[in-house]
């Protein structure tokens, strides 16, 4: 109704003189998840530059205008900042890394320097894909996700946009969110203690990535992306247990996985050794050709709520965006 006169079409911001308008930067950040010693880890780099210097942050960088897609930028940044060269060798575990778009974070003020719009990607990598070799990315390290303070920086990013309730005028309350100063001391990369606070709104991005990962294991075969070419059902179960942080029933899990068409297909061989503390050798499998698990592997119902009498217990966290 009484909106100010604006052209119907997208008004073009003087493209030929790009400075006339918006000084907005576009970056790509990547949440790379992997399993080390049965624990879920995320790849972080230590910042050497002023905003949040010394803090740990997600690997990422600026999109090269006109020269690459968003996903290509994600792959490039992973190589540059963490020494992960994804597609280089498809025969190795690294060639099988899964990469998908996670969400875009564009609140003004999420970077003190200027308005930065960050497109976040989520990757699943097999165990320890070269823990950042002698490249210039010496500051990259894997961190246990349970050592991160993921409660920080709420009310930003895609998760905050009017999920449950409907849009009320301005959608997200503008966060007062003074970004955390670099007070956090980096700790032992794999150490279980010492909570780490991430730079910018990266805690929220990691939290969204974890939500997405946990949800995707239910209905996609991507758990295999955390493993090598061949794996056993117990290894696959360990992936689920690490990501979901739940103990699963070995027998039922085994039968369930094999009952989903296209999830895994058996190689003829068996594992070299038996279980960690004994037991028969497990059979080996490869990823099947299914893109979706049907029926899905549902997480055991986390019964936190009192649960209405007579009705089954139910409370499953809402997946980040999907």
Partner DNA sequence: ATAATAGTGTCTATTAGACACTATGGG
Partner DNA sequence: CCCATAGTGTCTAATAGACACTATTAT
Q: How far is the CB of 128 from a copy of itself (least distance, A)?
A: 16
Indicate the residue among 19 and 276 with the shorter CB distance to a copy of itself.
19
Q: Does 139 bind a copy of itself (CB under 8 A)?
A: yes
* Interactions with DNA, residue window 228-257 (CB under 7 A): 232-234, 249-252, 254-256
Do 224 and 287 meet the contact criterion of CB atoms below 8 Å apart? Answer: yes
Site string for a copy of itself, 33-62 (x = CB under 8 A): ------------xxxxx----------xxx
Decide the pairing of beta strands 56-57 and 39-46.
Answer: antiparallel
Indicate the residue among 214 and 254 with the shorter CB distance to DNA.
254
Q: Which of 278, 306, 309, 322 is the binder for DNA (CB under 7 A)?
A: 278
Q: Which of 15, 183, 280, 306 is the binder for a copy of itself (CB under 8 A)?
A: 15
Can you tell me which residue has the tokens 């709420």?
A: 154
Query: What is the greatest pairwise CA distance in the chain?
Result: 75
Q: Which of 39, 104, 131, 177 is the binder for a copy of itself (CB under 8 A)?
A: 104
Out of a copy of itself, DNA, none, what residue 309 binds, judged by CB under 5 to 8 A for its kind, is: none
Those residues with Cβ within 8 angstroms of residue 205's Cβ, 6 or more apart along the chain or in another chain: 29, 31, 58, 102, 103, 105, 118, 120, 157
Candidates 190-198, 243-251, 264-272, 290-298 — which segment interacts with a copy of itself by CB under 8 A? Answer: 290-298
Out of DNA, a copy of itself, none, what residue 62 binds, judged by CB under 5 to 8 A for its kind, is: a copy of itself
Q: Does 265 bind a copy of itself (CB under 8 A)?
A: no
Residues that bind DNA (rule: CB under 7 A) add up to a total of 29
Q: How far is the CB of 261 from DNA (least distance, A)?
A: 10
Query: SS3 for 22?
Result: coil
Q: Does 64 bind a copy of itself (CB under 8 A)?
A: yes
Do 189 and 197 meet the contact criterion of CB atoms below 8 Å apart? Answer: no
Query: SS3 for 204?
Result: helix
DSSP 51: T
Q: Does 249 bind a copy of itself (CB under 8 A)?
A: no
C-beta atoms surrounding 23 within 10 Å = 8
Decide the pairing of beta strands 24-36 and 115-124.
Answer: parallel
Q: How far is the CB of 175 from DNA (least distance, A)?
A: 38
C-alpha span between 147 and 78 (Å, rounded): 22
Indicate the residue among 280 and 306 with the shorter CB distance to DNA.
280
Do 154 and 59 meet the contact criterion of CB atoms below 8 Å apart? Answer: no
C-alpha span between 155 and 118 (Å, rounded): 16
Do 236 and 248 meet the contact criterion of CB atoms below 8 Å apart? Answer: no
Out of a copy of itself, DNA, none, what residue 282 binds, judged by CB under 5 to 8 A for its kind, is: DNA
Q: Does 276 bind a copy of itself (CB under 8 A)?
A: no
Q: Which of 297, 301, 270 is nearest to 283 (CA)?
A: 270
- Chain contacts with DNA (rule: CB under 7 A): 232-234, 249-252, 254-256, 258-259, 270, 273-283, 295, 298, 300-301, 312
């Amino acid at each position: 109704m009484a909106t100010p006169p604006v052209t119907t079409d997208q008004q073009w911001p003087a493209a030929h003189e790009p400075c006339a308008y918006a000084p907005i930067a576009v970056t790509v950040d990547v949440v790379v998840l992997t399993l080390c010693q049965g624990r879920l880890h995320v790849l972080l780099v230590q910042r050497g530059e002023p905003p949040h210097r010394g803090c740990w942050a997600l690997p990422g960088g600026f999109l090269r205008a006109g020269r690459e897609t968003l996903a290509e930028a994600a792959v490039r940044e992973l190589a540059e900042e963490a020494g992960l060269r994804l597609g280089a060798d498809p025969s190795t575990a690294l060639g099988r890394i899964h990469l998908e778009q996670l969400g875009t974070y564009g609140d003004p003020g999420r970077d003190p320097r200027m308005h930065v719009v960050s497109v976040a990607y989520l990757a699943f990598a097999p165990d320890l894909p070269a823990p950042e070799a002698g490249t210039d990315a010496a500051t990259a390290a894997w961190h246990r996700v349970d050592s991160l303070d993921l409660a920080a920086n709420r009310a930003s990013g895609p998760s905050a946009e009017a999920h449950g309730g409907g849009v009320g005028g301005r959608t997200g309350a503008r966060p007062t969110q003074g970004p955390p100063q670099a007070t956090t001391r980096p700790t032992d990369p794999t150490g279980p203690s010492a909570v780490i606070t991430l730079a910018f709104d990266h805690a929220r991005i990691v939290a969204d990535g974890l939500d997405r990962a946990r949800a995707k294991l239910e209905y996609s075969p991507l758990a295999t992306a955390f493993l090598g070419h061949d794996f056993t059902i117990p290894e696959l179960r360990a992936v689920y247990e690490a990501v979901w942080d739940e103990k699963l029933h070995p027998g039922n899990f085994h039968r369930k996985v094999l009952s989903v068409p296209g999830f895994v297909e058996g190689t003829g061989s068996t594992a070299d050794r038996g279980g960690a503390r004994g037991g028969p050798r497990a059979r080996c499998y490869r990823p099947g050709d299914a893109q979706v698990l049907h029926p899905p592997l549902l997480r055991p119902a986390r019964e936190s709520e009192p649960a209405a009498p007579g009705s089954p217990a139910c409370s499953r966290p809402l997946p980040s965006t999907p």
